[in-house]
Every structure is written in C-alpha cells, then in structure tokens.
Amino acid sequence: MADPDVLSSAYPAAASSSVRKHPAPLDDSLAASSDGGPSFAKRPKAATEPPTPGGSAASPEVDVLALVSLTAGIYPLARAEALRGLSEVVERADASCSVGSGIVECSYECAVELMRDEDEGVRLAVVRLVGACAQKFSARVDADANGYGDLMDIIFLQLSFMARDMCTQVRIEAFSALGKMQQVSEGVLLQSLSKKVIKTDTMCGSIINGQKLPPKLKIPCAAGVFSHGIEDEFYQVRTVACQSLGALAKFSKQYAEKALDLLMDMMNDDTRAVRLQTLQALFQMATYGCLSVQEKHMHMFLGLLVDTSALIRDAARKILGLVTLPKLQMFKSAVDGLVTSLEKNPEEQDLYGILFSIGKNHGSFSANIAKHLAKEITMASDGELILDKPRVKALLIVSISAPFSNDKHKKLDIPSAIFSHAISLLGKVSCALGDVNQDLLLSYLCHKSGMPFWENRSISAEFGESESCSVQTMEIGAHIENTAKATKCVDEAIVMQSMKAILETVEGAWTMRMSCNICEVRTILRTCKEELNVLAESSSGSIGAFLSFLCEYLDATQLIIEIWQLIQLDNSYTFGLTSVEILLEKLDISIRRMECCFVGLNRELEVQVLELSLIAHLFRLSNIGVCKVVLGKLLQVINRLEGLSADGSYELSGLSGEIKKAFDDNLTGVNLISNIHTLFELFRLKPTTDFGMLKAIRAVLQVSDNDSENPSSYVSGLPVGVSFNIFLWNISSHHKLWIRMTIGESVQFTFLDFSCFGCNDDMKSGSMVAPLYATPMVCSFVLRVCLVMECPYGGNSTHWGGHGGPSDCVVQLSDELDVYFVSTWQS
C-alpha cells in the first residue's frame, strides 16, 4: 500500500538527514584512519546529490547507506535487489582501507539481519552477500588474525544455517559459499560433518592454528551441514555439497579424513553428475595431498575402475595416479584393478601413464613387483610369456617407473631383464612419461638393460632419475593439466603444418594455370578445398575461422581460373546472361563473404581479398565493356589498397600498381580491357598463413516443430507466424541481419532485432516469431528461409529497394531452410 506522497516526503527527509551529517566533525574511526582525507573530500559532492542507489559511483558510502536503508523495506523484491546492490559494492570494495572495510562490515551486518527473511529471493541474496563479505574479510584477516578468526567461524556457521534452508536455490548458493570459506577453525569444520553437536567444552582447551574456538555453537542447525547436503533431494545441491566438502579438506587433516568417509558413500549416489563431482573433489584433495586412502576405501575404488561409464573410470584412475597407498597389499590390488580395467577397455591407453605415476609414487612397492615380474619372465623363457598380454605390459610399466620414485634413501635395484623387455614398449613408455624424446628414452632403456647402444653418451646424467625425481604431488597435478594443454597445441601445430602444405600445393597449381590443362588445376584445387574443409570441421577458434576463410579463398581462386579460361576462349563482348556472368556473380558473392563474414581480418588478409576483388572487377569490365559503375568500384578498391600501404610498411603489388598507374593517367577502362592479359599475368596468388585473431561470423537458423511430415498450418491469404530459433556467432550490434523468406518468386525480408537475445561470449541465441504477411492462395507451399547480413560497405546494387528490405547487397549467413505449410481451410 505505497502512498506516493508519503514516499516523496520521506525521501528528501532521508536525504537531508544524511546531508546534515556530512559536514559534521569526524567520527573516531575515520579520524584514526590514515586515508580519511580523500573520502572526506568526496563528501560535499555526495551531499549535493540525493542518495540514489547506483547513482554516485564516486562515493560508495552513500550508495551503501541508501542500499542499507532499502534493505529494511517491506517489499521483498526491493529488499533482494538492495542486497544484490550491496554485494556489487562489496565485491568492488577494497577491504584493506578503512572505508572499504566499513562498507563490508556494514553490509555484512545488514545481511545477517535478513538471514531469516520470509522471502526466498531475499535469503538467496543474503547468502551471496555474506559469501562476498566473507571473502573480503578473509582477505584482510592477516592484519589481526585473532579478531577475525572468530568472525570467520561465525560466518561459516551462519552459512551452514542457510544451507538448511527450504529453498533449493538458497541451499545451492550456501554450499558454494561454504566451499569458498577460508580460515575456519578445525572445530567448526568437524562440526559441519557431524549432526551430533560436538561438546565444545572438551575442545575449549585446544587451540588450533592459533585460533580459539567459538565458545558455543549458537545455531544448533548448523551442525552436520554436509551430512545433510550429501543427502539432499536435489542432485544440484548434492553436487555443490560434494565440491565444497572436498574444497575445505585442505585446511585440516582430521577433517579431510572424515570428509573422505562421507565422499566415499557418495560413490553410490544414483545420479552420475554427483558421482563425477565426488571424484573431482577427491582429485582435488589428492592434488593437495590430503587424501589418505584406507583399506576400507579400496573396494570402492576398484569398483569404480570397472564402472560402465568411461568418465567415471577416467576420473577414478586419475585419483589413483596421485594417491599414496600405505600398504603393499593395497598397492597390489590397485595395480590389479588397473590391469582389469585395461583388459576390459584396451582402448584406454592413458592408463599406462597412470600406471607409471602410481608406480613412481610407490618406489619400493613397484620394485617388489619388478622382482616378481623378472622371476616370471625368466621362468617363462621359452616364449610362454607373451608381451602382448595387458597384464605384463602394465606390470612392466610399473616396474620401470620404480627408479623415478622419490624413495631416494632406498636402493632400488630393478632387474635388467625388465628394461630389456620394456624396450618393446617404447611407444607406450614415452607416452606415459609425457613428452619425452624417444631416442633418449631408448638409449636410457638400453643402457639400463646393459645392451650396447649406438650412442654411448652418459645417458643417466642427461635423462633419468635426476630429472623427474623431485616431482611433487602438486606438480603432477599441474603436469596432467599441462599435458592436456600440450596435446591441444600439438593439434594446432599439425593443422598449421598441413595447412601450409595445402597452400603450397595451391600456389603450385596457380603457376600451372597458364601452361597446363585447366581441368587438372581444377581437380587439385578441389582436393585442396576438401582437405581444408575436413581440417576446418575439426578445429575451432581463430584457426577454424581461418580455415573457413581459406576455403572461401580457394573457391574464389577456382572461379577466377574458370572465368579466365572462358575469357580466353571467347574474348568478344556478349550480352545477356552467359555462363561468365553467372561465374562472375558467384565470384562476387565469394569475395563479399570474405569481406563481411569475418571479424578481425588483418592487413595481409585484407590485401588478399582486395586483390581478388580487383581481378573480379577487371573481369567484369572485360565482360561487359567499359562501365562507370565498375570503374568506380575499381577506384574504391585501389584507394583502399593505397590507404593500407600508406604507412610504407607494405608495397602495392604489381597488379595494383599497374591499375593505379592507369587511373593516375586518367584513362578510361578501354586500355584496362585491352591490357587484361598483361594485368592478369601480374596477379600473384600469395595466401598468407598469418591470421591473427580472426573470427568467423556464423549463424544457425532453426524452425521448431516443422518438417515435411509435420507442416505448420495457415489460412491462405492471412498472415502466419513462423517461429525461429536463432544462434549467432561473433555478431556485434552494428551488424544488420534480416530473415529472408522466399515463396517461389516473391521475397519478404524481416529485420532481425537481436538486442534482446541471450548473450554468451561470442554466441548469441534467442527465438523469435517472424510474420509472413502474404501467404499464397494455395493449399500448401514451401517457404525457403535464410538469414542474410547486410554488407556494411561495397556494392550499390539495390535489388530489393522497393520491398523495404536491406538496402545494400547482402551475404547469406545460414543455410537455406525449408518450412512447410498446409492450409487449414480446405473446401
């Protein structure tokens, strides 16, 4: 029941009340602070403005003040919005200065007051705000650890209380905030695992990490928040709970042990996402070295190794590769488990890497395995032992990993027979080790097995124990990630290499154009294009964009060659639509696509495109004779090229130089046409491989619920709406997109307003309903739909002028779709 005049009368009052205070003498807290000066200086300015939320960015105190007073309002949406505003301010606040910490404290107090708000949205915002405040608090805790240690505990308990909320969203948010907490005392952490309230008086004496425990658990609800979390009805909550459970493990050993028990139970969860997250949490614990696997857990791990899901298997293996197992028996069962997994899924070769690292982590255990294996090998000397058996392969890898282990104090002698057998597994070993020079590895293995090797260098010094011995657990985690990155790099390098090879072929083919059979050139170009297409499909990012650019480029090249052939055959002027005309149009489209559909063309690429368009214009001149319009365009291109070379770092190519000269001499197009042979000779095909940050503009258009079996219905003669799902890549707001709808000859353009589309990095997506105004008076028809983009510059062919469609020439962005319609009104 908002009373407008009450509101209006109240606001100035609130403002004036804050105004009144500004010029007043400094409070103790600010007077004591060193940087009271600047904030004080801001005051008068703030005082002249009403405290509108988000208005005066210069003085966050005023914002905070206004927001805090709004959080006490009676409308839940307003309260929630105010809290969100506060979180924004807090996130930007610099907690180290006194003003910043004042803001954080004030916001935190405000949030705590609303913790039990009736509205879910408000509680959600409270959790976010408390989480943000906690992060700010922990950032400055080092200043006086004792004072804030308790505060962090209290925040942890408050968040725990929120994690028992009835609203799923609040729970999710609370658990994720809990996972980000720091400097929480061990007692509080342990309490979060146990529903039973741990008697605090027994722990009062123990001061852990110099922090005192909170005197009493004031919120009984906060106990055992994680045991509630992992039992939650919603898998989203369980997932976050598992994640936070693992994330906190690095702070306390005792906590980690108990958390492991809880996490182990989660392996039986009925949702795979939760199981995966659990494994992820365990992996994180293992990377921080706080995962101590015990015998009772082994059963679960071994079960996971033969899980039906490849993802789970993979995650379980990764963890095994990091943990330290206390007993030989457990080590053996782990290796056996891995072997079984390998036998069941022989295609999963990364297992060898895991075997190697698990062997390396347990030097003496793997030495033990090596001894047994050596015995087995010698016993079965008559060829019974088949190296192909996955078991033997696996054990060999484990055995040769032993010398790399950290157990320096023990002398681990691995029988040389092991090494000689391992030579046959060279590829797998080098794979397991990551990127290691195979020659080096081979020489190492030969050296160890006592075989003569062609290169008798002192191998051990260069490669071997010394190199990888000091690898810490943390580094292994990093190494695994690095390897993943490396493989991506390798992929890119391979693509670049094959791309270069293709381009060389293309250049070779270009030089052949004069002498050889045109057909052969065409075939070469076509094959190159196919190869590029294959590469383009498997790559993404800039390289993918560049590959599709190159495909377009080759298209244009092929067209040029074909047109050239036609021109050579028949150099007489022809009128009407000839095949040359069609090819020229195609060339134009191709060039236009290169110009418009890529963002971030660098200069080389742009020059390439411009030269192609020079050639295209020349051809057009030679085809239709002297024409002002074409000449004008030619001049535009030349000017652009000149502009690009203006800074002197690049010289005009022979072709463009020649044409420029022709223009400078102020000649008409006639001599250009007559000179076309010489000019064409001058044209060099020089595809560059430097693509910079190229991005491809793409679009996908979908029509929901429509195919030939399931047509949409319409009433003939009346407009009908067609609903589209649209996905746009790398489109920015200055691009003008249209939906082109064609029925037979008639075309309708609908402007696409994508400002309200959901945006996600480079991709925008959304759905819209486009009306088709003039449906034909037939009982069924097929509408052809595609997305087109207006070219920002270039052509002045106004094909669609009268229809209110795009004014300039357009580029088709998406594939053409067929939409099927059936009339509902049938007589």
Partner 1 sequence: MSIECLLLGAGQEVGKSCVVATIGGKRIMFDCGMHMGYHDHRHYPDFARALALWGAPDFTTAISCVVITHFHLDHIGALPYFTEVCGYDGPIYMTYPTKALAPFMLEDYRKVTMDRRGEEEQYSYEDILRCMKKVIPLDLKQTVHVDKDLVIRAYYAGHVLGAAMIYAKVGDAAMVYTGDYNMTPDRHLGAAQIDHLKLDLLITESTYAKTIRDSRHAREREFLKAVHKCVSGGGKVLIPTFALGRAQELCMLLDDYWERMSLKVPIYFSAGLTIQANMYYKMLIGWTSQKIKDSHAVHNPFDFKHVCHFERSFINNPGPCVLFATPGMISGGFSLEAFKKWAPSEKNLITLPGYCVAGTVGHKLMSGKPTRINLDKDTHIDVRCQIHQLAFSPHTDSKGIMDLIEFLSPKHVILVHGEKPQMAFLKERIESELGMPCYYPGNNESVSIPTTKNLKMSATERFITSCAAEQGKRRGHKGNLVCGASVSEVIGSSEDMDVAEGILLMNKQKAPKILCDDELAEVLGMERHLVQFEPMVSRIEAAVQSELQRAKAADSGSEGNE
Give contact residues for partner 1 (rule: CB under 8 A): 1-3, 5-7, 9-10, 13-14, 16-18, 20-22, 24-27, 29-30, 61, 64-65, 68-70, 72-74, 102-103, 105-107, 109-110, 116-119, 161, 164-166, 195-196, 219-221, 223-224, 227-228, 230-235, 262, 265-266, 268, 270-271
Q: Of 257 and 265, which CB lies nearer to partner 1 in the complex structure?
A: 265
Q: Which residues are CB-neighbours of 177 under 8 A, at least 6 positions away? A: 127, 128, 130, 131, 134, 159
Q: Of 109 and 570, which CB lies nearer to partner 1 in the complex structure?
A: 109
The least CB distance from residue 457 to partner 1, in Å, is: 56
The least CB distance from residue 611 to partner 1, in Å, is: 58
The least CB distance from residue 278 to partner 1, in Å, is: 12
The least CB distance from residue 492 to partner 1, in Å, is: 40
Which candidate, 264, 255, 261, 130, places its Cα nearest to that of 189? 255
Q: Of 262 and 282, which CB lies nearer to partner 1 in the complex structure?
A: 262
Cα–Cα distance measured from residue 83 to residue 111, given in angstroms and rounded to the nearest whole number: 7
Which candidate, 734, 740, 697, places its Cα nearest to that of 596? 697
Q: Of 21 and 684, which CB lies nearer to partner 1 in the complex structure?
A: 21
Q: 303 to each of 209, 270, 280, 315, 513, how far by Cα in Å?
A: 38, 15, 17, 13, 65
State CA 230 to chain mean position distance: 29
The least CB distance from residue 216 to partner 1, in Å, is: 10
Q: Of 27 and 295, which CB lies nearer to partner 1 in the complex structure?
A: 27
Q: Give the three-class secondary structure for 583.
A: helix
The least CB distance from residue 55 to partner 1, in Å, is: 16
Cα–Cα distance measured from residue 226 to residue 220, given in angstroms and rounded to the nearest whole number: 14
Q: Give the three-class secondary structure for 302.
A: helix
Quickly tell me which residue has 């994720």 as its tokens: 176
DSSP state of 211: B
Q: Of 25 and 452, which CB lies nearer to partner 1 in the complex structure?
A: 25
The least CB distance from residue 227 to partner 1, in Å, is: 5
The least CB distance from residue 228 to partner 1, in Å, is: 7
Q: How many helices (H) and strands (E) does the chain have?
A: 35, 12
Helix H or strand E encompassing 39: helix 36-48
Phi, psi values for residue 724, rounded to 5°: -115, 150
Reduced DSSP (H G I as helix, E B as strand, rest coil) percent helix, strand, coil of the chain, to 5: 60, 10, 30
Give the length of the chain. Answer: 827
The least CB distance from residue 251 to partner 1, in Å, is: 22
Tokens encoding 256: 């980690």
Q: Of 118 and 651, which CB lies nearer to partner 1 in the complex structure?
A: 118
Query: How many CB atoms neighbour CB 147 within 10 A?
Result: 9
Q: Give the three-class secondary structure for 728.
A: strand
Q: Of 224 and 805, which CB lies nearer to partner 1 in the complex structure?
A: 224
Q: Which residues are CB-neighbours of 528 under 8 A, at least 6 positions away? A: 502, 505, 506, 509, 554
The least CB distance from residue 5 to partner 1, in Å, is: 8
Cα–Cα distance measured from residue 425 to residue 391, given in angstroms and rounded to the nearest whole number: 13
DSSP string, 348-374: -TTHHHHHHHHHHHTHHHHHHHHHHHH
The least CB distance from residue 221 to partner 1, in Å, is: 5
Quickly tell me which residue has 């059979």 as its tokens: 517
The least CB distance from residue 688 to partner 1, in Å, is: 53
Q: Of 23 and 541, which CB lies nearer to partner 1 in the complex structure?
A: 23
Q: Of 164 and 660, which CB lies nearer to partner 1 in the complex structure?
A: 164
Q: Of 13 and 779, which CB lies nearer to partner 1 in the complex structure?
A: 13
Q: Of 299 and 677, which CB lies nearer to partner 1 in the complex structure?
A: 299
The least CB distance from residue 373 to partner 1, in Å, is: 34
Q: Of 168 and 498, which CB lies nearer to partner 1 in the complex structure?
A: 168
The least CB distance from residue 147 to partner 1, in Å, is: 15
Q: Of 224 and 806, which CB lies nearer to partner 1 in the complex structure?
A: 224
Phi, psi values for residue 702, rounded to 5°: -130, 145
The least CB distance from residue 231 to partner 1, in Å, is: 5
Which candidate, 129, 132, 134, 133, places its Cα nearest to that of 83? 129
Which candidate, 105, 68, 109, places its Cα nearest to that of 86? 68
Tokens encoding 145: 């650890």
Amino acid making up residue 569: L
In this structure, which long-range contacts are made by residues 588-595, counting pairs with CB atoms below 8 Å and at least 24 apart in sequence?
588/616, 588/795, 589/811, 590/552, 590/555, 590/556, 590/559, 591/556, 591/616, 592/791, 592/794, 592/795, 592/809, 592/811, 593/552, 593/811, 594/549, 594/552, 594/553, 594/556, 595/791, 595/794
Q: Of 166 and 569, which CB lies nearer to partner 1 in the complex structure?
A: 166
